[in-house]
Structure 1
Amino acid sequence: MRKHEGSLATALIVSTVLLTGGCVTHEDRQGETPTGPETTTAAPHSDPASPPTWRGKEEQEDAIQRATRALNTTEAEGAQRIDEGMANLARGLGRTFTAEGRPRTLDIACQAPAPHSITLTLTRGAAKSEWEVTCGDREADQFNIPAGGVFTAHVPPAADGTDGLLMWRLNAVHGADVTGCDDDIKGCED
């Protein structure tokens, strides 16, 4: 039964994003109007200065499926999904999350029609870190956030006309499931 619920949830997210072209989350976006790249059936731009684009809905759907698979590879067994969403690279990402109770993992996957990377900035209080996330990786990048307070995740909008998407998941995990550095915002170097 849970397998079908996950498939249904993914199908609903995909359908909503394709219809709105915007960001989908579990939280109210408080009046923001989603915007994003137009779906096009035309061939990619022949102008070498123009950024590559997807050639229609099918390529976008394939990218969503690849990003979903990348996110699934990093999700720890027993993790409780708190929030998830998708944003167009042209729009970027700016979200504030809570990390009350248990530690969190923020998993990010990016897809684009050509080689591309994004810069993710994580901030909590005065602590700030920047990370490069490469689009097209088969495994999502996972960032560990210790319990307590709020933190923000920011990805600046890509250049005008840049096609692509990023998907993210915020999971609550048990402390024993955190591997590597337990605070990817503050860092673990002494």
Structure 2
Amino acid sequence: MRPRNGCLTVAFITSVIALTGGCAKHDGQHGTDTGAETPSAAPRPSPTATPTWHGKEDQEKAMRNATRALNATESEGAQRVDEGVNSLSQGLNKTFTAKDRPHTFDIACQAPGPRSITLTLTRGTAQSEWDVTCGDREADQFNIPAGSTFTAHVPAAGTAIDGLVLWRFNAVDSANVDGCDDEIKGCED
């Protein structure tokens, strides 16, 4: 007696499953099997791996976000004296002079993963240290009194770290200084 086509189909499928079942490899995740060859499967990052940007688009987006953060804190009537961008891998070490009127030092950080940086502002023997969180929607702003020369320092994070720091140094009117007028020396209430 000859089997029907439906029985042949079931027998064929069962044979194929049995033959290829030995070629499957377990991926160790949730009890699933993956085929022996998975060319499109991306390697999973190590839980301790440092997040990185994937291409120019990520870097451009980070630059736009940091610029928006700086714009969000810019004081009314501010006059830009200096500005720049540094990679987190190289850090920042720059000296500024607030000439005849108060200034603000504004800084924003962007990185591909959660990160904060340490900003140290130094003038003579006065020094203040601040944590700046990367990815904030508003830049951190520090008031600097007229006639001050100070150094802004962010330590280099190392070559394996992606990220950037954008900063601006703006002259402002005395009436637009909000809060403490010397955030290097500090103010006591």
Q: Fold match, TM over 0.5? A: yes
**Residues 57-104 of structure 1: per-residue CA shift (max 9 Å, x gap):** 001000000000000001112110000000000110000001110111
Q: Is the 2:79–2:170 Cα contact (8 Å) retained in structure 1?
A: yes
Determine the structure 1 residue equivalent to 2:181.
182
Distance in 1, Cα, partners of 2:77 & 2:131: 27
Q: How does 1:1-190 map to 2 (within 5 A)?
A: 46-189=45-188
Please, what TM-score do these two structures have when normalized by structure 1? Answer: 0.75
The residue identity in structure 2 corresponding to 1:58 is: E
The alpha-carbon deviation at position 45 of structure 1 amounts to 7.8
Which structure has the greater CA radius of gyration? 2
Q: Is the 1:133–1:141 Cα contact (8 Å) retained in structure 2?
A: yes
Distance in 1, Cα, partners of 2:83 & 2:46: 36
The residue identity in structure 1 corresponding to 2:150 is: F
Distance in 2, Cα, partners of 1:189 & 1:180: 11
Segment of structure 1 superposing worse, 157-166 or 76-85: 157-166
The alpha-carbon deviation at position 44 of structure 1 amounts to 9.2
**Residues 104-162 of structure 1: per-residue CA shift (max 9 Å, x gap):** 10000000000000000000011000000000000000000001131000000114411
Q: Is the 2:80–2:171 Cα contact (8 Å) retained in structure 1?
A: yes
Please, what TM-score do these two structures have when normalized by structure 2? Answer: 0.75
Q: Is the 2:90–2:158 Cα contact (8 Å) retained in structure 1?
A: no
How many equivalent pairs are there?
148
Cα gap change, 1:111 to 1:45, in 2 (>3 Å): farther
Cα gap change, 1:44 to 1:152, in 2 (>3 Å): farther
Cα gap change, 1:99 to 1:48, in 2 (>3 Å): same
The residue identity in structure 2 corresponding to 1:185 is: I
Cα gap change, 1:70 to 1:44, in 2 (>3 Å): farther
Extract unaligned runs of 5+ from structure 1: 1-42
The alpha-carbon deviation at position 50 of structure 1 amounts to 2.6
Distance in 1, Cα, partners of 2:103 & 2:148: 11
Q: Is the 2:121–2:150 Cα contact (8 Å) retained in structure 1?
A: yes
RMSD value, Cα: 1.5
The secondary structure found in structure 1 opposite 2:67 is: helix
Q: Is the 2:73–2:139 Cα contact (8 Å) retained in structure 1?
A: yes
Identity %: 69
Extract unaligned runs of 5+ from structure 2: 1-41
